[in-house]
């Protein structure tokens, strides 16, 4: 798992991710390790993991002036599953930091994603594997629906 800054990859330490959201309405996990930035006040990893879209992990770094800079994180499906499994490790002891409503929404979406990955059922791969004429027809239908 890494971020890219000025064409250089910087590895993130997965053990430095705290499995307790800093916000009650979105999954933002504190990151407590050294970063290649000066004057960093705090860092969080925003996680949006759903079965219907590609997972988004973003490192949000707050500097001493209070400005937040966002860096997309490159992570494998197994790394994403490791992070999210830590968050939802004990379903009987809710310590995720999320409000119950949001915990249910995010956990259900994550479990759908994990099931797709573990069962090798990737909707994006299925779309990429369509025959060209079927892909063209799907594109035409989607374009007509948007118009």
**Tell me: the pLDDT tens digits for 71-100?**
999 999 999 999 999 998 865 556 899 999
At residue 122, the pLDDT reads 59
Per the domain annotation, does 145 fall within a domain? no
Mean pLDDT of the chain: 86
Residue 2 makes CB contacts below 8 A (sequence gap 6+) with 9, 10, 11, 12, 73, 74
Q: Is the pLDDT of residue 147 over 70?
A: no
Per the domain annotation, does 98 fall within a domain? yes
Per the domain annotation, does 85 fall within a domain? yes
- The angle formed by the CA atoms of residues 95, 23 and 113, to the nearest 5 degrees, is 70
**Domain extent for 19:** 2-121
Number of domains in the chain: 1
Per the domain annotation, does 143 fall within a domain? no
User: Partners of 10 in the beta sheet?
Assistant: 3
Q: Is the pLDDT of residue 53 over 90?
A: no
CA end-to-end span of the chain? 39
Per the domain annotation, does 39 fall within a domain? yes
At residue 51, the pLDDT reads 85
- Worst-scoring range by mean pLDDT, 12-16, 26-30, 84-88, 127-131? 127-131
């Amino acid at each position: 798992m890494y971020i890219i800054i000025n064409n250089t990859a910087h590895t993130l330490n997965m053990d430095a991710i705290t499995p307790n959201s800093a916000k009650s309405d979105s999954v933002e996990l504190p990151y407590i390790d050294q970063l290649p930035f000066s004057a960093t006040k705090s860092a969080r990893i925003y996680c949006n993991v759903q079965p219907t879209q590609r997972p988004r992990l973003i490192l949000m770094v707050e500097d001493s002036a209070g400005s937040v800079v966002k860096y997309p994180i490159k992570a494998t499906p197994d790394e994403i599953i490791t992070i999210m499994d830590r968050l939802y490790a004990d379903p009987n002891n809710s310590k995720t930091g999320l409000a119950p409503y949001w915990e249910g929404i995010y956990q259900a979406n994550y479990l759908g994603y994990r099931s797709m990955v573990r069962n090798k059922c990737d909707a994006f791969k299925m779309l990429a594997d369509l025959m060209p004429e079927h892909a063209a027809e799907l594109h035409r239908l989607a374009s007509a629906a948007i118009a």
